[in-house]
Amino acid sequence: MSSAGTFRVCETGGPPLREALAEAVALPSVLTTMLRSLIEAWPDEVYTRPLVTTRFLGQRTTYVCDPQLIRSLIVDQAGALERETFMLRALAPALGSGILTADGPHWRGQRRTAAPMFRPDRVRDFIPAMAAAAHATRLRWLGRTPADARAETERDLLPEMMRTTFDVIVATMVSGDSRLEVEPFGRAIDAYLGQTAWKIALSMLRAPAWTPHPGAGAGARAAHYLRSEVARTVARRRDRGEPGADLLGLLLQARDPETGERLSDEGLIDNLLTFVAAGHETTALALTWTLRVLADHPAVERRVLDEIARLGADPAADPEAVERLAFTRQVVLEVMRLYPPAPLIVRRTAAEVRLGDRVIPAGESVHVPVYALHRHLSLWDRPEVFDPDRFAPAPTASRDRYAYLPFGAGPRVCIGMGLALTECLVILATLLPAFRFVPVRAEMPEAQFRVTLRPKGGMTMKVVPRHVR
């Protein structure tokens, strides 16, 4: 939980002049906090109250922390909401106007066109590619010689998991013909996300879009690199003349079921890059936090290992076994409660919305602070405690569905949810029986908002092979 929220709660309005002066004085420290991690700027009340409104520099932001109000907002009144300016400023230079960043009819058409690609039967077809990527990581960690295979090696698991999920996304999206290279691509994503904290903070502080900031040049170069690499991939596939059976192939052939239209080349690039960026980073974070949390909870890890062994869950040999890993799935869900890879859902009101007896006019920011919702004192018993049994069938059935939103909800719910969960299970079922993970530092790394929720300073652990043949 944040120790001292930077944004103050505004209930009454307050005397504007005094408030404006106080804000001007506070500006440097607000900026510093937002750059460190936006979550620290949230008022503490987001962990205890249903609805919290703050005002800063004349801009009101309402944090919605009550499950039924969240449902009312992002499901029932979804049509009155649009993408928030600061998220667009942060993401659109790289992702263009794809499913994640578009609004209105342009979004709806793309969502309808892409939705069939993420159906459960399609996801199941991708399990062998996921298993192959996980196996490649296993071999990489075991090294080349028997001595390597016995060695304990310190590794930062964040880039390791990024590489694994990148391999999965490349294999499932652009199998066979890809020349996307994991390291430069990963570096470009890091450079890009690294400067989004500035873009978000400056946009929230109402600075114009052209305001210079550290990392802006590197961010622009990274966006250019990412887009041109993906554009080349699309062009290579078009030249081949045959679409292929992977997600790019499906996207190339997909038609909007209502209009019959296909995606333009620009639309293909926007969405392919969206899937690569949104898909591999978030899933890698879920896995990185999971490996660390399991290392801190050996009894839970034992239950996971027993389940994998009992079901003989070798995802490469038996894709369906993955779906039976019920407890392992609970573990991933509970880790994403504590460390939601997407910790904030933001919207701007395009028209007036009503939340209970509160009316929010058009043009205001509404936030669902997922990280705080998942630790809210009125929703969770001992919220800071890791307990995967919270996600057993009975407690899940008795909990409000909108109290837990790692993938969002409503029309803009994550399109890759099924893919991501299956991928986490496949990778865990491959790596956990092969390695123990030992944290090199006792304290958990700080969770830092970078659009996603990253462990500050990475997640270095000793990777210890369990069996040496």
How far apart CA 335 and CA 286 sit, in angstroms, is 7
User: Cβ of residue 271: shortest distance to ligand HEM, in angstroms?
Assistant: 7
Give me the 342-381 binding string for ligand HEM, x by CB under 6 A, dash otherwise. Answer: x--x------------------------------------
Query: Which residue, 35 or 335, is less far from ligand HEM as judged by CB?
Result: 335
Query: Which residue, 31 or 174, is less far from ligand HEM as judged by CB?
Result: 174
Query: Considering the rule CB under 6 A, would residue 189 count as an interface residue with ligand HEM?
Result: no
Binder to ligand HEM among 61, 77, 196, 283 (CB under 6 A)? 283
Exposed/middle/buried for residue 350 (C-beta within 10 Å: 0-12, 13-18, 19+): middle
Query: Considering the rule CB under 6 A, would residue 420 count as an interface residue with ligand HEM?
Result: yes
CA dihedral 359, 365, 369, 373 (to 10 degrees): 0
State both tokens at 252: 């190339």
Size of the site for ligand HEM (CB under 6 A): 22
User: Cβ of residue 276: shortest distance to ligand HEM, in angstroms?
Assistant: 8
Helix (H) or strand (E) holding 60: strand 59-64
Nearby residues of 287 by Cβ (< 8 Å), 6 or more positions away:
157, 161, 164, 165, 424, 427, 428
User: Cβ of residue 196: shortest distance to ligand HEM, in angstroms?
Assistant: 15
Q: Which of residues 80-99 bind ligand HEM (CB under 6 A)?
A: 99
Query: Which residue, 10 or 80, is less far from ligand HEM as judged by CB?
Result: 80
Task: Say how many C-beta atoms besides its own lie within 10 A of residue 27's C-beta.
Answer: 13
Query: Considering the rule CB under 6 A, would residue 158 count as an interface residue with ligand HEM?
Result: no
State both tokens at 206: 């109402």
Q: Which of residues 220-279 bind ligand HEM (CB under 6 A)?
A: 274-275, 278-279
Binder to ligand HEM among 130, 272, 414, 425 (CB under 6 A)? 414
Stretch of residues binding ligand HEM (CB under 6 A), selected from 251-259, 348-356, 408-416, 441-449: 408-416
Query: Considering the rule CB under 6 A, would residue 439 count as an interface residue with ligand HEM?
Result: no
Stretch of residues binding ligand HEM (CB under 6 A), selected from 14-22, 181-189, 337-345, 381-389: 337-345
Return the closest-CA partner of residue 254 out of 122, 110, 101.
110
Query: Which residue, 342 or 434, is less far from ligand HEM as judged by CB?
Result: 342
Query: Which residue, 198 or 407, is less far from ligand HEM as judged by CB?
Result: 407
Q: Which residue is nearest to ligand HEM (CB)?
A: 416
Return the closest-CA partner of residue 447 out of 429, 463, 430, 459.
459
Query: Which residue, 50 or 406, is less far from ligand HEM as judged by CB?
Result: 406
Find the length of the chain: 469
Helix (H) or strand (E) holding 360: strand 358-360
Tell me the C-alpha to C-alpha distance, in Å, between residue 185 and each of 13, 97, 182: 47, 20, 5
Stretch of residues binding ligand HEM (CB under 6 A), selected from 88-96, 209-217, 415-423, 427-435: 415-423
Helix (H) or strand (E) holding 275: helix 265-296
Binder to ligand HEM among 96, 219, 341, 388 (CB under 6 A)? 341
Nearby residues of 350 by Cβ (< 8 Å), 6 or more positions away:
80, 81, 82, 362
Binder to ligand HEM among 194, 243, 408, 433 (CB under 6 A)? 408
Return the closest-CA partner of residue 458 out of 185, 246, 158, 244.
158
Nearby residues of 15 by Cβ (< 8 Å), 6 or more positions away:
none
Check residue 9 and report its DSSP letter: B
Query: Which residue, 103 or 156, is less far from ligand HEM as judged by CB?
Result: 103
Helix, coil or strand: residue 246:
coil
How far apart CA 345 and CA 293 sit, in angstroms, is 24
Give me the 284-303 binding string for ligand HEM, x by CB under 6 A, dash otherwise. Answer: --x-----------------
How far apart CA 200 and CA 65 sit, in angstroms, is 21
Query: Which residue, 423 or 465, is less far from ligand HEM as judged by CB?
Result: 423
Query: Which residue, 30 or 38, is less far from ligand HEM as judged by CB?
Result: 38
Query: Considering the rule CB under 6 A, would residue 406 count as an interface residue with ligand HEM?
Result: yes
Q: Which of residues 99-118 bind ligand HEM (CB under 6 A)?
A: 99-100, 111
Contact at 8 Å (CB) between 98 and 274?
Answer: yes
How far apart CA 222 and CA 228 sit, in angstroms, is 10
Query: Which residue, 282 or 448, is less far from ligand HEM as judged by CB?
Result: 282
Q: Which residues of the chain form contacts with ligand HEM (CB under 6 A)?
A: 99-100, 111, 274-275, 278-279, 282-283, 286, 341-342, 345, 406-408, 412, 414-416, 419-420
